[in-house]
Amino acid sequence: MKIKTKWIKDLFIMNVVWLFAIASFHFLQLDPEMAPKYAEMVDANMVNPDYEFIYLFLAGVCLGTIFGGINIYANENQDRLRKKSYANIILSYSISHILLTAFTMALVIVIAQIIQTGKVSSNIIYSIIGFVNSLNFIRILLFSFFISISIIFFQLLSAKIGRKTLINLILGKFRQPKERNLIFLFMDLKSSTSYAEALGHQKYSLLIQDCFSDLNRSIETHKGVIYQYIGDEVVVIWPYEEGIKEGRCIDTFFCFKESINRRKDYYMQNYGLVPMFKAGINGGRLMAAEVGISKRSVAYHGDVINTASRIQCQCSQRNVDILVSEKIMKDSSDLNKYDFKYLDKVQFKGKTEKVAIYTIGDSFLN
């Protein structure tokens, strides 16, 4: 249900973007030969100017739905697409774009004629061919291709640095340091050194790719944001209340473990092992600031993130998969779904007070 809701949201956003794009294309046609009434279509009696808004709306919705569907397919099949070259993907997309744009325009023409006359004339195919061969169709094709490429570029950039981070950088939200209340989840591959030696650099890198691909689905399901990758370690963040809500910051880790377990046959077949991860969680107030000149990013500074990292490092010493701070334990206890077990108070270097750490049993209530 959560995935389907995300699909609906993505389709809605794509439809809004394409409706805005079509409206902009309509508005910016200042050349009489590019008039919004589309001379070729009017001459062929395919478009009645009185229904112009309806045709623009239909074009926007059709393009948004079709290309939104392609976008959803690409997001749901990242593992397969990751193995293809960018040149192959761009070529395939360009050909698909031309065919789908022609199909969309033909569909709009057919619907337009039905709206105007209540039927489809026998010569509609000649009208469609005539429009596809017209200069206006070429203009629409180039404009729609530019919009598609712009959307893809934004999505690739978002995937690279995170959508929220990208928006914050564009808006300059953290040009001046600001205090934020966040949760940090540090996850690291267990026995990474021995795995790397056994598999070799290339196969080990493929293992990390597969693991983080499985992890990404868990993070998206629980509304987390990837802050950064550090070798075979990943750091995930949430605004504090959102991370605590429904136990998202904790459930992300257990959901990831379940994903790995479901694909254990795949991992055994390809790598001869089933990867295991350890996690440390902490939250609280710290500072966020935009840093860098040639490569900008939002960095977080404070005791909260340092403590989260150190808590995760304690997993190996305590022989457990997950550890959380006392603050996370207390704020998650009201959910009545976790079996928290107190382990110890740890004196971390540089801190005056000891930090209480808790682990969680796998048999928590769902």
Q: Report yes or no on 280 lying in a domain.
A: yes
Domain coverage including residue 305: 163-360
Q: Report yes or no on 55 lying in a domain.
A: yes
Q: Which of these three, 161, 184, 214, is where a domain ends?
A: 161
Task: Note whether 323 and 214 are same-domain residues.
Answer: yes
Task: Note whether 124 and 178 are same-domain residues.
Answer: no
Over range 325-335, report the average pLDDT: 88
Binning pLDDT at 50, 70 and 90, where does residue 303 land? very high
Task: Note whether 202 and 319 are same-domain residues.
Answer: yes
Q: Report yes or no on 218 lying in a domain.
A: yes
Task: Pick the range with the lowest mean pLDDT from 19-33, 55-69, 115-129, 350-364.
Answer: 19-33
Task: Note whether 86 and 221 are same-domain residues.
Answer: no
Over range 256-263, report the average pLDDT: 93
Task: Pick the range with the lowest mean pLDDT from 127-141, 167-181, 280-294, 297-311.
Answer: 127-141
How many domains does the structure of the chain reveal?
2
Residue 165's region, left for phi above 0, alpha for psi from -120 to 50, else beta, is alpha
Task: Note whether 195 and 298 are same-domain residues.
Answer: yes
Q: Which amino acid is at 56?
A: L
Joined together, the tokens standing for residue 145 give 């291709």
Task: Note whether 116 and 6 are same-domain residues.
Answer: yes
Q: What is the pLDDT of residue 84?
A: 66
Alpha-carbon torsion angle 105, 111, 113, 119, nearest 10: 140
Q: Which of these three, 161, 192, 213, is where a domain ends?
A: 161
Q: Report yes or no on 366 lying in a domain.
A: no
Distant-in-sequence, close-in-space partners of 335: CB < 8 Å, separation ≥ 6: 246, 247
Q: Report yes or no on 365 lying in a domain.
A: no
Alpha-carbon gap, residue 309 to 324, rounded angstroms: 11
Q: Report yes or no on 101 lying in a domain.
A: yes
CATH of the domain at 226: 3.30.70.1230
Q: Which of these three, 106, 126, 161, is where a domain ends?
A: 161
Task: Note whether 272 and 337 are same-domain residues.
Answer: yes
**CA atoms 279, 155, 214, 295: torsion sign:** negative
The model's pTM is 0.72
Over range 156-184, report the average pLDDT: 79
Task: Note whether 255 and 107 are same-domain residues.
Answer: no
Task: Note whether 282 and 171 are same-domain residues.
Answer: yes
SS3 355: strand
Q: Report yes or no on 216 lying in a domain.
A: yes
Mean pLDDT computed over every residue of the chain: 81
210 has pLDDT over 80: yes
Task: Note whether 120 and 196 are same-domain residues.
Answer: no
Task: Note whether 45 and 142 are same-domain residues.
Answer: yes
Task: Note whether 322 and 200 are same-domain residues.
Answer: yes
Name residue, tokens 């998969």.
Answer: 321
CA 97 to chain centre: 22
Is residue 238 classed exposed, middle or buried when 0-12, 13-18 and 19+ CB atoms within 10 A define those classes?
buried
244 has pLDDT over 90: yes
Q: What is the pLDDT of residue 69?
A: 83
